[in-house]
Amino acid sequence: MLESLSSLQMSLAALGGLTVVAVVIYNHWTSRKNEPRQADPVLEAKTSDMEPILNTELDISPSPEAEPEPLLGDGFANLPLLERKTQLDALLDVIALIEVDQAVSGDAALAALPTTRRVGTKLFMVEGLSQETGLWDGLTPSRRYTAFQAGVQLANRVGALNNIEFSEFVVKTQAFADAVGGTPSFSDMLEEVARARELDQFASAHDAQLSFTLCARSAAWSPGYIQQHASRLGFVPGVIPGRMVLPSAVQGMPPVLALTFDTHAALAEDPALSAIRSFALSLDVPQTAREDEPFARLREAASLLAQAMDGVVTDGEGQMLSDEALDQIGHDLQQLYAALDARELSAGSPQARRLFS
């Protein structure tokens, strides 16, 4: 009896030991399975000198209104530079002419500018009529000007110019005019504020910022894993942690696409341990020219990343986006582009980039 009990105890002990080993192995396997995927150092070395595989052929006309994404590194020194031209536009701005009795130097005009170039939430600008060229131009020290014009933007994504902002514009313009010995002429406030509201209503109805979400099917991703795959498509790091951009072919222009993931994961002490299950690819429609086909490039980037990273493309609600749904988005965008063209606010134009900012 004792012998049988001893054998039973030994069998139970052995079975218990095997169970513990099995649990340890299972937990190790589960832990390894759930670890975020890491960037492949071998692949990174091989692809560091490769050309991006995403279609990045661009032909963007230079614009003075670009608000470029700051980039890390100096790999874009050879890109063509943005050309600076006059900025004020009667379509977008309230403009006050400032007449002067004699030419004013650029140094004096620059010294007379207000310390802030904003009126409320709107951009405030002053241009001069160059004595040398007879053209309106941004103020520079080396020129002399025979007249000036001050302007404030009618609307932007924050909203329309209001009565208080118009009054502030008058005060700033008058102060500049007094400093250069000029006399300003102002338009009617009520008419300009009404024009601002109408433009704001149009902009609100025709604004579009598209965003796709890529979700991991199984294992999560580390920041390095996301960055490695995005880099192969031409994305580069921005200065904001967790953000990458597909830059324009013209230095100083806004990025074509943006990729964003959890900032906290990017700033973690050991980012390799951060588990990211989704990230966003986005397109600011009015900021990029229609002829550059930014939506097609957004769609292509999402598809390529999903295939390479074992992910799925979804909308903001987590619903998978079918080809039919994407085709419909593309169709709707063509109608939006046509409406912007008809208003002389074509996507990617200086006017559109200012209005939709």
pLDDT in the model for residue 282? 96
pLDDT in the model for residue 246? 95
Sites in the chain below the pLDDT cut of 50: 2, 5, 20-31, 47-48, 50, 56-68, 70-85
pLDDT in the model for residue 8? 52
pLDDT in the model for residue 316? 82
pLDDT in the model for residue 6? 60
Share the mean pLDDT of the chain. 84
Angle, alpha carbons 114-156-284 (nearest 5°): 125
pLDDT in the model for residue 292? 87
What are the residues whose beta carbons fall under 8 Å from the beta carbon of 244, sequence distance 6 or more? Answer: 227, 230, 231, 235, 236, 237, 238, 258, 259, 260
pLDDT in the model for residue 274? 83
What is the DSSP annotation of 222-238?
-HHHHHHHHHHTT-EEB
Name the CATH topology of 93-153+158-204.
Cell Division Protein Zipa; Chain: A, (3.30.1400)
Contact 47, 231 (CB under 8 A): yes
Query: 208-355 maps to which CATH number?
Result: 3.30.1400.10
Residue 94 in 3-state DSSP? strand
Residue 355, token pair as written in the block? 């209005």
Q: Looking at residue 251, what DSSP letter applies?
A: B
Q: How far apart are CA 169 and CA 118, in angstroms?
A: 9
Q: Where in the chain is the domain with CATH 3.30.1400.10?
A: 93-153+158-204, 208-355
Contact 137, 87 (CB under 8 A): no
pLDDT in the model for residue 305? 97
Q: How far apart are CA 205 and CA 201, in angstroms?
A: 6
Query: Amino acid identity of 287?
Result: Q
What pTM does this model have?
A: 0.76
pLDDT in the model for residue 57? 40
Burial classification of residue 93, based on how many CB atoms lie within 10 Å of its CB (0-12 exposed, 13-18 middle, 19 or more buried):
buried
pLDDT in the model for residue 239? 84
